[in-house]
Amino acid sequence: ARPIAAASTACAAYHRLPPPRFAADAYAKAVEALVRAEGIELVIPTCEEVFYLGRLWQHRAMPARLFAPEMAMLARVHDKHAFIRLAQSLGLDVPETILLQSEADLDGVRGQSRELVFKPVWSRFARDVLLRPSPDELDAVRPSPAAPWVAQRYIAGEEISAYAVAVEGELKALALYCSLYRAGMGAGICFEPVGDAAARRFVETFVAGAGWTGQISFDLMRENNGTVLPLECNPRAVSGLHFFRDPRRFADAVLEDGAEVKPDVTAPQTVRLAMWIYGMPAALRSGGLGSFRQAMHDADELLDWPGDPAPKRAQWRTLAEIAGTALRQRISLQAASTRDIEWNGPEQD
């Protein structure tokens, strides 16, 4: 879909590229040609195109720098089992997480299903997640080496999301936040900043141990005793980026080796269009209309930028394009929003 940012006054030019998921070679050639033609020195991924760019930089001598780790590390942290093993190797506490690659693996944990969360190794937006299912509900799960799943211990507590930027293992930016409303079980559409020392220690330890350069995000759980455990990792930008509004300070920290930049936004953030699409129906189902109205009143519209009104208007065009894809493919809006860029593991390559 045409990105909202293409309408921004900050955008000097917009080039539509082939879909990397369905035309990987054409995408790679187009990116390389664009980088060379425009004299681009730095490429900053935003979503799952990072994996296709990582592979491109792995196999070609590109004239620009990619603000992301090497492809092997990107794939490792995106893998919901390998990420937990990596965090454990760095001395971090992790929940029990079992790799499922066959019916036999699944049968081995079927008896404990009410204590576990099941999800595909390669997935996003909590898609296909089974939360403490009955043994019979697992009949629909078909794990294989090409499409593995994980069974992870269910953790009671408060979910914390983390967005971070690091350079050579040094933390340069960190936003911790909780989602008040979500698109289904997945991405937050109304979220507020939080503080948590244990969550910060987790992020600092992980990026330092991994020698991370680039953007990275985590889904964490804070147990009632204050322990913070990781659920999964996404090596890309997420909603927490919206808690940074000073572009000069952010760029200085991330690109010019300046001091760590702290979030400068303290109010809850939301996309009101998404709240009407997802939040309102959820509020009607739960009887929480009062909370919905309060959230809409308290939260700032994250697309409101002084002197730059076009992106807010452009979201309607983007929504129409995504909705068209959803109707044609008979998939959800969320699935349609990433259909052309999502990366589902090395077996997809």
Q: Where are the domains of the chain?
A: 14-68, 96-153, 157-302, 306-341
- Mean pLDDT computed over 116-139: 89
For residue 167, the model assigns a pLDDT of 97
At residue 344, the pLDDT reads 85
Q: Residues 165, 254: contact at Cβ < 8 Å?
A: yes
69 vs 75: CA distance, rounded Å: 10
pLDDT at res. 70: 96
Task: State the average pLDDT over residues 188-210.
Answer: 97
Phi/psi at 69 (5° precision): -70, 175
pLDDT at residue number 348: 62
- How, if at all, do strands 300-301 and 188-193 pair? unpaired
Mean pLDDT comparison of 156-170, 274-288, 308-322, highest-scoring range: 156-170
* pLDDT reported for residue 123: 81
Residue 234's nearest CA partner among 221, 245, 220, 218 is: 218
Among 94-103, 250-259, 294-303, 336-345, whose mean pLDDT is lowest? 336-345
**Cα–Cα separations (whole angstroms), residue 232 to 89, 195, 229:** 15, 20, 10
* Whole-angstrom distance, CA of residue 174 vs CA of residue 195: 11
**How would residue 183 be classed by pLDDT, with cut points 50, 70 and 90?**
confident
Q: Which residues contact 318 (CB under 8 A, 6 or more apart)?
A: 1, 2, 3, 4
DSSP 264-279: ---S-EE-HHHIIIII
In the predicted model, what is the mean pLDDT of residues 284-310? 92
Q: Is the pLDDT of residue 342 over 80?
A: yes
Tokens for 236, please give them: 């890309």
- What pTM does this model have? 0.93
What are the pLDDT digits (tens) for 300-329? 999 998 899 999 999 999 999 999 999 999
Percentage of residues of the chain with pLDDT beyond 70: 99
Please say if the pLDDT value at position 346 is more than 90: no
Q: What is the C-alpha end-to-end distance of the chain, expressed in Å?
A: 22
C-alpha span between 119 and 51 (Å, rounded):
20
Give dist(CA 262, CA 282) in Å, integer. 33
Q: In what order do the strands lie in the sheet with 228-234?
A: 228-234, 214-222, 158-167, 170-182, 188-193, 269-270, 300-301
Task: Please report the pLDDT score of residue 349 as a whole number.
Answer: 59
Residue 111, Cβ neighbours under 10 Å: how many?
9
Q: Percent of the chain, pLDDT > 90?
A: 87
pLDDT at 333: 87
CA 214 to chain centre: 13
| Ramachandran category for residue 330: left, alpha or beta (phi over 0 → left; psi -120 to 50 → alpha) | left
DSSP letter for 259, please.
Answer: P
Q: What is the CA radius of gyration of the chain?
A: 20
Q: Which CATH superfamily is domain 157-302 in?
A: ATP-grasp fold, B domain (3.30.470.20)
Q: What is the mean pLDDT of residues 72-82?
A: 96
196: which 2 tokens? 């948590």
Q: Which pLDDT score, from 0 to 100, does residue 136 have?
A: 92
Confidence of residue 127 (pLDDT cuts 50, 70, 90): confident
